[in-house]
Structure 1
Amino acid sequence: MANTYPQLVAFDLDYTLWDLWIDTHVTGPFHREGNKLNEVLDRYGQPISFYREVPSVLHRLKFAGVKIAACSRTSTPELAREALSLLLVPPSKAEPNEPPKKAIQYFDELEIYPDSKITHFTELHKKTGIPYSQMLFFDDEKRNKEVEKLGVTFILVKNETNENLLESGLAEWRRRQPTQDTD
């Protein structure tokens, strides 16, 4: 059980993957300077970037075959998508010669629109067929723990998403899984 993963891991965006509110702290259009990794600039030069360990978290989940979703209730979904489309994720340490990829390529599903997280996860379940019990969700807002009513494992992000938080989230998700008899 120690190496098992949920079928889907979902992340909020604002103050979960990056340190701003995309709908109030930055102004579109966004642009990237050349092939600069993990940084996009807004109209006024304000940088947008993932927290330092987010790229390695995304690599780890992809390598494990986990579907990744973004679930954000932002009032500016087009800006969130634009940032994800422009942000370049550096290659993993395991494959340093691979070219960087656009962040949006790591996300199998995008639920980015102003609505409740219950709606986001209901849609994820409809689109993917993945049981709620096979979903793990990281978010910085305590109120979004409401998704646990569906059976989703919720992890509160107090500071930023990083490897340690991912590991504790996976441990909590594993703890909630039914044990298998090995008779």
Structure 2
Amino acid sequence: MFLGTTGLYVAIAHRLELMGRPEESLPKIVVFDLDYTLWPCWCDTHISPPVTRSKDENAIVDRYGSKMAFYKDVPEIIAHLKQNGVKVAAASRTCAPVLTVPDVAKKMLSLLYIDGTRAIDHFDVLEIYPGSKITHFNFIQKQTGFEYHDMLFFDDETRNKEVEHRLGVKFMFVIEGVTWKLYHQAIEAWRDHKGHRSQ
């Protein structure tokens, strides 16, 4: 979508503002769903293993030659989080066999790159299996020791907002992948949610 000159300047301003904010104004951990949040596919139905890394771009190629990559802003957003000391996690649910899809998702994260290194190395916690996102977050909380109100969660399914209602995790609904604009809105919403909006 073309932003126009004004829209482009606003997007750049939001990005620079976020990248200049101090670490303490960010969540302690940001959690991402995978499918249609970080990349535009369902890895249990759209990807046919084996997958390999594309030779000419930051993308993966499946057995039929189909390419898949992160949404455009995702690598820079995750790099920004890690550069500011924020932990990153994945919480992904799938109804496919447990022994297959997590392997595909992890393989994709191993072949896609962020800031010059494997994407999977930027994730501190990986919770990829069937079941409620409540279960995913219970395990994330146990592994990190962080309070739920110190967490921010991006997901493309509104049913998963239950983590906000039941646990206190700030939920951000994703429509067309995580973008800088959405990320900016989410950080502001998380600050309001926690009750310490930066002045």
* TM value normalised by structure 1: 0.88
Contact residue 75 and residue 113 of structure 2 kept, 8 A = no
Give 1:131's aligned amino acid: E
Please state if 1:9 is matched with 2:30: yes
Map 1:69-108; keep pairs closer than 5 Å: 69-74=89-94, 75=96, 76-89=101-114, 91=115, 100-108=116-124
**Structure 1 residue aligned with 2:87, among 38, 62, 67?**
67
Deviation at 1:177, TM superposition (A): 1.6
2:143 aligned residue (108, 115, 127): 127
Runs of 5+ unmatched residues, structure 2:
1-20
Q: Which of 151, 157, 160 is the equivalent residue of 2:177?
A: 160
**Pairwise CA distance, 1:152:** 0.1
Residue 68 of structure 2 is matched in structure 1 by: 48
**How many correspondences in the alignment?**
169
- Root-mean-square deviation (CA), in Å? 1.4
Task: Say whether 1:138 aligns with 2:159.
Answer: no
For residue 59 of structure 1, report the CA deviation from its aligned partner. 1.0
TM-score w.r.t. the length of structure 2 is 0.81
Taking every aligned residue pair, what percent have the same amino acid on both sides? 48
More helix by share: 2
CA deviation string 1:95-142 (max 9, x = no partner) = xxxxx1111011110001111100000000011100000000000000
Q: Distance in 2 between matches of 1:142 and 1:179?
A: 25
* Gap regions ≥5 residues in structure 1: 92-99
Distance 2:189 2:196 in 1: 14
Counterpart in 2 of 1:96? none
- Contact conserved, 1:137 with 1:155, CA < 8 A, in 2? yes
Q: Identify which range, 170-179 or 124-133, moves more after superposition.
A: 170-179
> 3-state SS of the aligned residue for 2:183?
helix
Structure 1 residue identity aligned to 2:181: N
Q: How many Å apart are 1:179 and its aligned residue?
A: 4.1
Alignment partner of 1:117 is 2:133: yes
Question: Is this contact kept in 2: 1:28–1:43, CA < 8 A?
Answer: yes
1:8-40 Cα distance to aligned partner (Å, 9 max, x none): 000000000000000001111100134x44201
